[in-house]
Structure 1
Amino acid sequence: MSASSGTAAQDTTQEVNFDGLVGTTHNYAGLAQGNIASSRHEGLISNPREAALQGLAKMKALHDAGYAQGVLPPQQRPDIEALRRLGFVGNAERVLTQAAHEAPQILRAVCSASSMWTANAATITPSTDAADGRVHFTPANLQSSYHRSLEPETTGRILQAIFANEHYFAHHQALPTTPVFSDEGAANHTRLCGRYGAPGMHLYAYGRRAFGGGPAPQRYPARQTLEASQAVARQHGVDNGQLVFAQQHPEAIDAGVFHNDVIAVGNGPVLLYHERAFLDEEGTIDALRDKLATVSGEPLIPVRVPEEAVSLEDAVSTYLFNSQLLSNPDGNMTLVVPGECQENESVWHALHSLLLDGPNPIGEVVVRDVKQSMRNGGGPACLRLRVVLNEAERDALSGRVLLDDALYEELVAWVNRHYRDRLALEDLGDPLLLRESLTALDELTGIMRLGALYPFQRG
């Protein structure tokens, strides 16, 4: 099985990638401001079945390669209760029909399948780095957009159902839903370390300061505040000596880098980043180098991609940096990239000349097709939530959430039974789609042995 780089054979700690299952209402509504791919593909007909199967195929490929792979269920969509809070009345079908007629934009929001991008679900601190020795979870409030702000309550319920043992796991409420504490989760958080089971250091990237001003993007909103990142670190009891807070470059955000994981990815002691990722590149790398050496004794391995090799535009269109960087037992690393990287000549050249042929542990590039997700602005790294767990913590997981061959086959069959292969925006108001979705989710919680997760199951 894949484990951390390092030589401590007795350390059974692993990074488990929990991928989100794509929901039945996967569509292209263009809801995410600043997400260029989402806007560009607004109105296209989606294929929810293909999207879910692409996600599952990526999970299965990583499982088969020896990496620890988990699964997270989607949200209940359409969110009928959200419509009722906005004044729509009657039974579920009447509420849905009324919203489709009177407020189609709101209907699109409450049908969003954006929970598939579980990198935004929460921020996680492993037990090694938390003051109380437990794994800590804070669901992201996602207050920057209405469609994603509907997620945190159910996300928290899902995480508490899976990571239920209070001896090992600690859960916090999402931060206050206000622009001051705008929090987009692990997409703006990177843990660097030597071994997964040894202390690490935490890089929190933010787009703006809520207090005190400073540089800010002009075209698109900055979705993460410094104050939110600091609050999560405090909640989790992370020592100040293990923290670096770095501001994203405002020009990168204005180019479509709405989360830091669109411009940088790290794992173990390696940080792969674009030269425009951080406002103060030199200061950020120096701070990471100093703190990682102090905390773990491990030298930082920065892998810098200059703009002359990959432009910001190409970085955003191909999601080169929204790739999964995976540690292998031999100390080398595998980079899982979306197919769009292979289709772009300059990006494909940079992958080989700067990464595979460069002085770093990245020894393999694997291409995966996640086009249904990419059209909405989510690459391989968006689709997974990274949770570092030791053997006892993995044994304490509830439900059937760690992927194996049997679970994979059941989930593929479940998708093929319940998912449509064509979904247009006008189909979102179809009462039959609502019934199909609830039937699918009810069956899914049985397959995954997670109990009554969803509002319609809870009476």
Structure 2
Amino acid sequence: MSNAREVNFDGLIGPSHNYGGMSQGNLASATNAGDVSNPREAALQGLEKMRLLVKAGLTQGILPPLPRPNFDLLVSAGFGGSDAEIIEKAAREAPRLLKAAYSASSMWAANAATVSPSADSVDGRLHLTSANLSTMLHRSTEHPDTTASLVSIFENEERFAIHGALPMHADFADEGAANHVRLCAEHGREGVELFVYGREAGESTAGFPARQTKLASESIARSHRLSSQRTVLARQARVAIEAGAFHNDVVCVGALDTLFFHEFAFEDTEATLEAIRKAAESLFELKPVMVPEAEVPIGDAITSYLFNSQLLQWPGEDRLVLLAPMETQETESTRIFCEKMVSGNGPIGRVQYVDVRQSMRNGGGPACLRLRVVMSDEEIAAVHQGVMLNETKIDALQDIIRRTYRDRLTAADLADPTFASECQLAREALLEELELSGLV
């Protein structure tokens, strides 16, 4: 698969983007709970990040927002009547449940699925498993619609294998690619897949929840037909979870042969690196870049989202580029570390900062917003082409967003039945532009 490249499929931020503060362990989400959000600005910021990559010559796709509000959730909770009556009753009797039904968290496409390219799988197909996101109520309802989107986009069964979510039980808790890193010499060659988990099946942990289980990661590796010799499972450090690293991608990111991570990312760093090196034997030489706690305290790493950045093979550049949020530049310790890092001769040669503040305030940086899919030219051609972006399509999507999204949204607005209609009409217009009207 010599012609393979990494394609980023970003989640398009939906019209109900709000600061519900529903994600336990996500400090940014909790800090900004109840604030006024700007769905229009959020979606435009996300698309401008995508435009940056398209203009650089990278291949960029998009995943549509899911249907919101989620009436199935509200009906399951006993609310009935017309759509307007359901909204009004839920707002009066269960406002937190209504916030969950309006959650726009599917914007964070890194949680949509775990992906293994065809170069790694025994059957030579690209595998995607929808994440069950069972730990948090507002996210646990996403996977049926996520699976439907993936089936519509990766529709060629000879090339793609779409797996539904794992069982909705705590032992199988799965948060998708946010706890998965693929390392390789070249995108199209066989690589090593690193799965990071926070707890064993049946294990309970105090404090913030460990959202990924070892059993879930093992199950996905089996479903994806991965070689056990090229698969590594590592435990995330409990100290990182307690500090607010609710996913491993808050303290670690990798690309090609480079693993960029915080000193507190793994429970046993030496053992993790040794396992990766052993799995990579004869394939590539691992280039670890560890950020010491003494230079960047774990608290700064999490609030700045230094590691929740995209690590990219940028066209025309010899070294990798870290696409980081503005908050990384504005945090002194992370800015100083980045300046020192790129001035050396390590594998990361440049840091570029992007404005995704609306997403950041709800707890997701540039890496949260994208699902990485390594694909050959033939696989890219077999994907539903309506979701593959160029600047013209980005312009068209932004026009729809300016026309249909609100520039101000409060928790009280969710109680207005007309807002539900606004969300539905906006999504229909977006799906039509993406040639996915069958998902309405």
Equivalent pairs, count: 439
Deviations 1:249-293 (A, max 9, x none): 001100000000000000000000000000000000111122113
- Of residues 392-401 and 197-206 in structure 1, the stretch that sits farther from structure 2 once superposed is 392-401
Residue 355 of structure 2 corresponds to residue 364 of structure 1: no
Q: Give distance in 1, aligned partners of 2:436 and 2:124.
A: 25
Residue 13 of structure 2 corresponds to residue 22 of structure 1: yes
Match of 2:294 among 299, 305, 308: 308
Residue 276 of structure 2 corresponds to residue 282 of structure 1: no
Deviations 1:272-322 (A, max 9, x none): 00000000000001111221133x1x1100001000010010011000000
Match of 1:185 among 167, 170, 176: 176
Query: Corresponding residue for 2:220?
Result: 232
Query: Corresponding residue for 1:345?
Result: 332
Query: Corresponding residue for 1:244?
Result: 232
Residues 217 and 253 of structure 1 are in contact (CA less than 8 Å); yes or no, is this contact kept in structure 2? Answer: no
Once the two structures are TM-superposed, the CA of residue 217 in structure 1 deviates from its matched residue by: 5.0
Aligned residues with identical type, % of pairs: 48
TM (norm. structure 2) is 0.98
Q: Secondary structure at the match of 1:176?
A: coil
Q: Give distance in 2, aligned partners of 1:161 and 1:133.
A: 20
Residue 142 of structure 2 corresponds to residue 151 of structure 1: yes
Deviations 1:343-385 (A, max 9, x none): 11111001111x2023422111100011100011000000000
Query: Corresponding residue for 2:210?
Result: 222
TM (norm. structure 1) is 0.94
Match of 2:67 among 76, 79, 88: 76
Query: Corresponding residue for 1:386?
Result: 372
Once the two structures are TM-superposed, the CA of residue 412 in structure 1 deviates from its matched residue by: 0.5
Which amino acid is the alignment partner of residue 151 of structure 2?
Q
Q: Secondary structure at the match of 1:413?
A: helix
Query: Corresponding residue for 1:3?
Result: none
Q: Secondary structure at the match of 2:100?
A: helix
Q: Secondary structure at the match of 2:200?
A: coil
Match of 1:413 among 399, 420, 426: 399
Query: Corresponding residue for 1:67?
Result: 58
Query: Corresponding residue for 1:7?
Result: none
Which amino acid is the alignment partner of residue 261 of structure 2?
Y
Which amino acid is the alignment partner of residue 419 of structure 1?
Y
Q: Give distance in 1, aligned partners of 2:85 and 2:206.
A: 42
What is the CA RMSD across the aligned residues, in angstroms?
Answer: 1.1
- Of residues 436-445 and 251-260 in structure 1, the stretch that sits farther from structure 2 once superposed is 436-445
Residues 117 and 378 of structure 1 are in contact (CA less than 8 Å); yes or no, is this contact kept in structure 2? Answer: yes
Which amino acid is the alignment partner of residue 63 of structure 1?
V
Residues 270 and 303 of structure 1 are in contact (CA less than 8 Å); yes or no, is this contact kept in structure 2? Answer: yes
Residue 80 of structure 2 corresponds to residue 89 of structure 1: yes
Residues 204 and 245 of structure 1 are in contact (CA less than 8 Å); yes or no, is this contact kept in structure 2? Answer: yes
Once the two structures are TM-superposed, the CA of residue 399 in structure 1 deviates from its matched residue by: 4.0
Once the two structures are TM-superposed, the CA of residue 80 in structure 1 deviates from its matched residue by: 1.3
Residues 56 and 314 of structure 2 are in contact (CA less than 8 Å); yes or no, is this contact kept in structure 1? Answer: no
Which amino acid is the alignment partner of residue 247 of structure 1?
R
Which amino acid is the alignment partner of residue 395 of structure 1?
A
Question: Can you give the 5+ residue segments of structure 2 that lack an aligned partner in the other structure?
Answer: none
Q: Give distance in 1, aligned partners of 2:258 and 2:65.
A: 31
Q: Give distance in 2, aligned partners of 1:217 and 1:324.
A: 30
Match of 1:200 among 191, 215, 230: 191
Residue 310 of structure 2 corresponds to residue 324 of structure 1: yes
Q: Give distance in 1, aligned partners of 2:230 and 2:144.
A: 29
Match runs of 1:155-170 below 5 Å: 155-170=146-161
Q: Give distance in 2, aligned partners of 1:337 and 1:155.
A: 26
Q: Give distance in 2, aligned partners of 1:245 and 1:163.
A: 27
